[in-house]
Amino acid sequence: MTESYDLDERAQILLRHLIETYTSDGQPVGSKSLAQQSGLDVSSATIRNIMARLEDMGLVDSPHTSAGRIPTQAGYRLFIDSLLEVRDLGKSAEKLINNAFSADQTSTDLIHTASNMISQVTHLTGLISVSKQSHIEIRHIEFMKLSDRRVLVILVVNADQVHNKVIQTDRDYSDLELTEIERLLSRYLIGTDFNQAQQQLLLEIKQHKDDVNRILKSVLDVMGSVCGDDEDSLLTSGESNLLQFAELSDINTLRELFEIFNQKRDLLHILEGCSEADGVEIFIGSESGYSVLSDCTVIGAPYRQENEVIGVVGVIGPTRIAYEKVIPAVDLTARLLTSALNSQK
């Protein structure tokens, strides 16, 4: 809940202009600049007095004695909750996002598209979580022989989630042998819940010769990595976009940020907090609960399939981002992804 602040109209106008200016160029904003941009018919002394009062309230801060002011986390929160004027994305950006979700894409393709698209449109790091599924059904399994004793395993899971994995074998297998192994696996896996079929197949393996067992076990390992993971998964894209922001360019800050991308667990926890939101949820700085993100903002919105939330699409960037543009981009991407997933046959 936003803390209550007693701000008159002039103070609100100045705070909004200060934040919009700072998010644009990253430089502290002085009273003279605010006087020129705000359109208020007041003296510079009046503006300085209002700025001093905003600083006393903890809404702005002075990074240096002689510099202008920058917004604080509390200032951003008040701005987003009470002062923000969300803008249209613009026809070109809306068209770009709309066209990205084509009807012939699989669910997996659509989710990857959403992650890449939100990063491209916002110039931030795209995030998308995919919730673990309670029921996992193998719909199709196929082998394709490659060179150097490698076999491509093609799995179709549930409706249309396609997974490709290359396994290394200890000898060359003929096409006929691979077809026979496909038939054996299909007998136990196709149309059956993976976790139930796995145990039956392990018993069946014991009855086959060792060289067949080895490839069967390799395939089971592949399917276990695809189907047996109990954790939510996270896709990220455009991590290098964060390099453009000076406040995140410190080598130690970048190292910590990229570590949180690699670990994923903490980001998944943050996105989980967006899963029950009715629209867009925003975590500014310490609101995320993680000190490494004290200078960052995470914005996310849930997407659904058959009226069930199956993940969250969002972005991460510095607190100094164009909220008026990023928020509608996240919202539109989540809504279009939901529509595309539910339009599949």
CATH for 91-132+231-343?
3.30.450.40
- Give the C-alpha separation, 126 to 313, whole Å: 8
Amino acid at 330: V
- Give the C-alpha separation, 151 to 219, whole Å: 10
Residue 95's nearest CA partner among 336, 327, 342, 341 is 336
293-338 per-position pLDDT tens digit = 999 999 999 999 888 898 999 999 999 999 999 999 999 999 999 9
Q: CATH second-level architecture of 138-227?
A: 2-Layer Sandwich (3.30)
9-83 belongs to which CATH class? mainly alpha
**Confidence (pLDDT) at 146:** 87
Q: DSSP letter string over 310-326?
A: EEEEEEEEES-S-HHHH
For the chain, what is the total number of helices (H) and then of strands (E)?
Answer: 12, 10
Q: Which among 159-163, 172-176, 185-189 has the top mean pLDDT?
A: 172-176
pTM: predicted TM-score of the whole model, two decimal places: 0.75
CA distances from 196 to 139, 228, 230, 261 (A): 15, 11, 15, 33
Amino acid at 252: N
Lowest mean pLDDT among 41-55, 144-158, 324-338: 144-158
Judge whether 232 and 129 are in contact, CB under 8 Å.
Answer: yes
Residue 114's nearest CA partner among 343, 336, 345 is 336
* Segments of the chain assigned to CATH 3.30.390.60: 138-227
**Confidence (pLDDT) at 1:** 47
* Segments of the chain assigned to CATH 3.30.450.40: 91-132+231-343
212-255 per-position pLDDT tens digit = 666 666 766 666 655 555 456 889 999 999 999 988 888 898 89
Report whether pLDDT(345) > 70. Answer: no
Beta-bridge partners for 165: 153
